[in-house]
Structure 1
Amino acid sequence: MRFSNPILPGFHPDPSICRVDDDYYLVTSSFEWFPGVPIFHSRDLVHWRQIGYVLDRASQLPLDGVRPSGGVYAPTLRHHDGVFYMITTLVDGLMESGNFIVTATDPAGPWSDPYWLTETDGFDPSLFFDDDGRAWVHGTRPARPPRYEGHTEIWVRELDLDGMKLVGEEHVIWDGAVKGAVWAEGPHIYKIDGFYYLLVSEGGTEHDHAVSVARAESVTGPYTGSSRNPILTHRNLGHDHPIVGTGHADLVQTPGGEWWMVLLAIRPYGGYHYNLGRETFLTRVRWEDAWPVVGPVELTAEAPGLPLHRWPVPPACDNFDTLRLGPQWNHLRTPREPYWTLNERPGHLRLRGRPESITERTNPSLIARRQQHAHFAVHAAMEFVPENDERAGLALVQNDDFHILLVMTVDGLVVVRREDGADHTLAQADVPPGRLWLGVEAHGQEYQMLYATRPGEWRPLGDPVDGRVLSTTLAGGFIGAYIGMYLSGEGHPTGNIADFAWFEYLPLPET
C-alpha cells in the first residue's frame, strides 16, 4: 500500500512523535492560535485523528498581545513510566515567556498547568529519558558568544522529575554540522544500540532547511557528526521542486523494527509562495554503518509495514449542532471571555460583536480553521444586520497586516484585501436583508469570492483576489492561512450578533 504526503496537510509545523505500544501520538506547533499544540493519534503512521489539544485552558497558555508568529514554538512529546510529557517554548508572551513542561496520563487530556523552567533560556526544548532512569532537557539558544548572525548552540542539562526543575551542570554539545550553519535548532536525543544520537535541524526553516545527525558515547558528549551530513535536505533541488524546506524532524521505531521520520516541509504553488504554511510529512529511515539514512520525501511512498487503520472521516460541513466547537476550530490568541455560543440559538454558531479587530494584536470575535489545500471551497450561511462600522462574514487570515475579508457592512457586501497594513476594497454588492450565503472558491492563488441571496444561486463578487497576500513568502512569519467566521465593531463597542447556520470546507480537484 502507498500513502500520500503530507500526512497532516495545512499549517502543522515542527512535528514531534512518540509511540506507546501500538499507538502513535504526534504534536505540532500552534504559535498565536488557541487552543495550543494540537495532538493526534494513529495506529499506522499514515491515518491520523485529532484527539484534542495539549494547551486548552487560559491558565496554560496566555497568548494575550502575542505578535504574529509568536506564541508556542516547537513542542516535543515523550512518554515515560506511564506519563506523557510535552515541553515547548512560549515566545514573546506579555504575561509569561520561556520554556515549560506539562504532563498527562491520558494524551487526550486533561494536561497539567505549566511547570516553568526558570533555570534556562532559549527555545525548541526537547526531553530524553535515559535507560538509567535519568531525564535530560536539551534545547537551542544563541551561541555564547555568537560568531555570526544566526549562530546558535545546543545545550543539555539534567531534569529533576520530582521537582520538575533543571539540576546539575549544563553542557553545550553542538552548534551545527555545516561550516557557518545558521539556526541549528529543534534538537532531539535518542539512545540506539549503545550510542546517543543527536538529531538537529539547521539552515533556517525555509528553503535551506536541513537535518543533520551526530552521535556520542555519553549523553553530554562529545558528539561527532556524520560524514554524510546533512542527512536530509531539499535545498539542492531548487525552488520549483514540489516539496521544499524539509527539516525539523523526529524519529520513531515501529514494533516490527522499522524506523520512520516525521518532519516539516513546504508545498509552494503560484510561484514560490506557500499559503498552507509548513506541513507534516513522513519518510522512511534505514541504518548503515550505525548512522541513519533518510529516504526521499515524496508526495506518495510505500506505507509502513503496519496494519491499516483508518479513522472515520469528519464531515465537511459543521452544522453547529453540538455543545462544543469541533477540534478544527481555533481562536486568535487566548479568549478571555466567551464571545461565541452554540446554545443560544440551537443549530447556529452565534458570534457576539466586540471592538476588537483582526488588524490588532488582540483576541477578536473570530472562529477559524486551517486552509489545508491549494484548491478548496468554503461556504457558510449567515444572518447579520450591520450597524455603524460593524463587519461580519468570512475572513481569510495570514496575520494582522495581510488578510482577505468577505464581509457585510452598512455599505453592502464588500471584499477587502489587506496588504502591508493597508486596506483595499475590491468589490461591493447591495444585498437584501435576511439570510446571506457566503463562499470562497480557491484555485491556486486565485480566490474567487461568492455570495447568494437564495439557496444555490451563487454569484461571483468581483474578480478573483490575488491569494499571495496569504502567503508566508509575502507576509512573513511561520504560520499558514486560516479561514473562518468573523464579527467586529472595528474599534467601537457593539452588542450586535451574527448567526452562522453552517460552515463547509471542501477540497477541490487540482486542475
Structure 2
Amino acid sequence: MLTYENPIIPGFYPDPSVCRVGEDYYLVNSSFEFFPGVPLWHSRDLLHWEQLGYVLTRESQLPLEKARTSGGIYAPTIRYHDGRFYMITTNVTGGGNFFVWTDDIHGEWSEPIYIDQAGIDPSLFWDDDGTVYYTGTHTDENGNFGIGMFLVDLETGARLGETKVIWYGTGGKCPEGPHLYKINGWYYLMIAEGGTEYGHMETIARSRSVWGPYESCPHNPILTHRNTFQSDFQALGHADLVDDPDGKWWLVFHAIRPSMFMLHHIGRETMLAPVTWDEDGWPVVYGGKLIESPMQTQGDGDVRVEINWRDDFSAPEPAPRWSWLRNPDRACYTFGHGLTLRGAADTLDDIGAPTFLGVRQQQFAVRYQTSMQLSGETGRAGLTIFHTAEHHYDLYAQRQGGGCTVQLFRRVADMETRTESVIFADTDTLILRIDADRHMYTFFAGVDEAHLVKIGTGSTQLLSTECMNCTFTGCFSGMFAEGNCTARFDYFAASSLGNVETE
C-alpha cells in the first residue's frame, strides 16, 4: 500500500486547483493580501510538491495597496489548453475577475485580462469543439445565489452572451468554487457549499448538455466532515478533480486542523484523496471514508512532508516560500549574505506595506530562530507571529545605549499588552527564537543559543480564525522592522519540535 500524509501542502495554502500536462501536475492556491500572489507548485506524483514560485509577481498584475485583511486574491483556477497555461482568479479589492496566461510555466505570466462579471471563484472549461466557458458565482434576478456560466473570448475577456445560472447547488449556503469537467460524455459540475467554515462540503451534479439541466448526485455531499468530530480535519471543501496517466482519479481540496475544539490558526491547507467511480458514474472520494493522516491507497511507498529548513538569504531574491504584506517597498529589503530590513512608517498594525517578510506556519510544533544585528536609536525589529493587522505577537528589540532591550508585544483586536523590558547590555546582536505547540507560542531572546531568556508567551487561541471577523488566512512567522532602524538577519530556520505536536 502507498502511505502518505495529509496535508500534502501544509500551512495556509487554501482553495487548491490542479491540472495535469503529461506526467506533470501544476497546482495553485489563494494568497489574499500577501505578495507575490497565487503560489505555483509542481509535482510528478501528486505527493511531492516543489514550489516553482508565484503566478502574480508584478504590482501591475496584483495591485494590493490598502487591501483589507483577507482582501486581494480569491480562489484561482489553473488550466492548460493547446500549449498554454491559464490562471483565472478574483482580486476582490483591486479589479475583480481576470485571467493571465503563459506558454512557459517556468517563465513570466501575462498582464491581467479583466472580465466584466461580478462574483468570485471563476473557472474556465474548454469543450471538445474549442468553445470556452466561464463559470463562477452569480446572483440571479431574484437575489438567489448560484453558479453562473457564459461563453468568453480569451483574446479580450469579453462575455459572449448573457450569464445563465446552471445550478443552485443542493441547498447549502454559499454555492461557490465551481469546476466543470467532461467525463465519459457527461458534463460534471462540482462546487463547494456550506461556507468555508465547519459546515463546508463538496457537491457535484451532471448533465448531458453543458447548459443543463444538472442532476444532483444522489450521495451528495461527496466530501465533508460537517457531522463528525472524530477526525483531525474539519471544513473540507473547495476541490478540484484530476486524473493521472494510469487513469486513476484524485481530488485536491482544502481542510483545517483545529488546535483545540472549534479553533484553528494555521489556516486552510491543501489535501489529497483518491477517487473511484460507482456503477452509475458518480465519484466516490476515499471509498466514502473520513479523510485522515496518514492516508492509504493503492501503490507503494511512504511519503512524509519535511518541515526542517534554513535560509541564509544568499540569493539576490527571496526563496518562493517567503511572502510580503501587500505590495512591498523593495528599497527596504536587501538580500545576499543575510537579509537586511529597513524600517518604514507602516507597522504591522496598519493596512499598509510594513517592512515584513514571512513564511506560513506549517505545523503546530515548530521552532523558528534567527540571529539579528540591530542599528538605529528609535525603531524596533524582530520576529513576529502574524495573522492579521489586529492579531499578532511581536518579539522585538530596540537599541538602548550600547545594548538592546527586548519586549513581547501582543495585539488581539483592541487589546494590547507588553511584557517588561529585558536588557542585554553591550551588544547589538541577538538570537531570537519562537517555540510553538498546539496551544502556545513561547518567545526567547539572548546573546547566544546557550543563554536564551524567556520573554513571554502568547496563546494560539487568540490568533485563531474563529476569534476574528471573517478572515480566510493563517498564521505567518517572519521578520519585521519598524521606524528608524536597520536590522540584519543572518539566517532564518524552521525545525520540527516532534513529540510536542500531539500535546
Q: Report deviation, 1:337.
A: 3.8
* 1:313 Cα offset (Å): 6.7
Answer whether contact 2:5 2:304 (CA < 8 A) is retained. no
Q: 1:246 aligns with which of 236, 245, 256?
A: 236
SS at structure 2 position matched to 1:162: coil
* Residue in structure 2 matched with residue 438 of structure 1 by the alignment: 432
Residues 251-299 of structure 1: CA distance to partner in whole angstroms, max 9, x if unpaired?
0001111110000101001332211100000011111111111123211
Q: Which runs of 5+ in 2 are unaligned?
A: none
- Aligned residue for 2:60, secondary structure, equals coil
Determine if the alignment matches structure 1 residue 453 to structure 2 residue 454: no
Which residue is 1:292 aligned to? Answer: 283
Looking at structure 2, the residues matched to 137 and 184 of structure 1 have their Cα atoms a distance apart, in angstroms, of 16
Count of residues in correspondence between the two structures: 489
User: Residues 427 and 282 of structure 1: is their aligned pair in 2 closer, same or farther, counting only changes over 3 Å?
Assistant: farther
Tell me how far apart the structure 1 counterparts of residues 454 and 325 of structure 2 sit (CA, whole Å). Answer: 29
Asked if residue 482 in structure 1 is aligned to residue 476 in structure 2, the reply is yes
SS of match in other structure, 2:122: strand
Listed one character per residue, the Cα deviations across residues 398-425 of structure 1 (whole Å, up to 9, x for unaligned) are: 1011000000135720001101133211
Q: What SS does structure 2 have at the residue aligned with 1:405? A: strand
Partner of 2:200: 209
Secondary structure of the residue that 2:462 maps to in structure 1?
Answer: helix
Q: 1:386 deviation in Å?
A: 4.5
User: Counterpart in 2 of 1:105?
Assistant: 103
Alpha-carbon distance in structure 1 between the residues aligned to 2:376 and 2:393: 19
Please tell me the residue identity of whatever aligns with 1:13: P
Say whether the 8 Å CA contact 2:16–2:240 is kept in structure 1: yes
1:164, distance to aligned residue in structure 2 (A): 3.3
TM-score, with normalisation over the residues of structure 1? 0.92
Give the 3 Å change call, closer, same or farther, for CA 32–483 of structure 1 in structure 2. Answer: same
- 5 Å-filtered alignment, 1:89-104, equals 89-93=90-94, 97-104=95-102
Matched, 1:159 2:166: no
- Mapped to 2, the partners of 1:219 and 1:508 lie a distance apart of 51
- Do the aligned partners of residues 182 and 350 (structure 1) sit closer, same or farther apart at CA in structure 2, a change above 3 Å counting? same
Distance 1:403 1:314, change over 3 A: closer
1:378 to 2:371 alignment: no
Alignment of 1:48-67 (within 5 A): 48-67=49-68
Change over 3 Å in CA distance of 1:304–1:480 after alignment to 2: farther
Hey, what does 2:27 align to over in structure 1?
Answer: 26
Deviations 1:350-390 (A, max 9, x none): 001111111110010001110000110000000113423x2
Q: 1:293 to 1:310 in 2, by over 3 A?
A: closer
Please state how far the C-alpha of 1:478 moved relative to its aligned partner: 0.3
Q: CA offset at residue 171 of structure 1?
A: 1.6
TM alignment of 1:318-329, pairs within 5 A: 318-329=311-322
8 Å Cα contact 1:101/1:116 also seen in 2: yes
TM-score, normalised to structure 2's length? 0.94
1:400 to 365, 369, 389: 389
Q: Which residue identity is paired with 2:168? A: D
| Aligned residue in 2 for 1:125 | 122
How far has the Cα of 1:303 moved from its partner? Answer: 4.6
Aligned-residue identity in percent: 41
- 2:42 maps to 41
* In structure 2, distance between residues paired with 1:84 and 1:308: 31
Equivalent residue for 1:316? 309
Runs of 4+ in structure 1 deviating by more than 6 angstroms, as ranges, are 307-315
What's the secondary structure of 1:357's corresponding residue? coil
Residue 6 (structure 1) aligned with residue 4 (structure 2): no
Equivalences for 1:169-318 in 2 at 5 Å? Answer: 169-178=162-171, 181-238=172-229, 241-288=231-278, 289-295=280-286, 296=289, 297-303=291-297, 305=299, 316-318=309-311
Tell me how far apart the structure 2 counterparts of residues 144 and 226 of structure 1 sit (CA, whole Å).
Answer: 26
Q: CA 1:472/1:313 → structure 2, altered by over 3 Å: closer, same or farther?
A: closer
Aligned to 1:134: 131
Aligned equivalents of 1:177 and 1:286: distance in 2?
A: 22
| In structure 1, distance between residues paired with 2:79 and 2:181 | 11
Shift of 1:105: 1.2
**Which of the numbers 389, 401, 414 marks the counterpart of 2:407?**
414
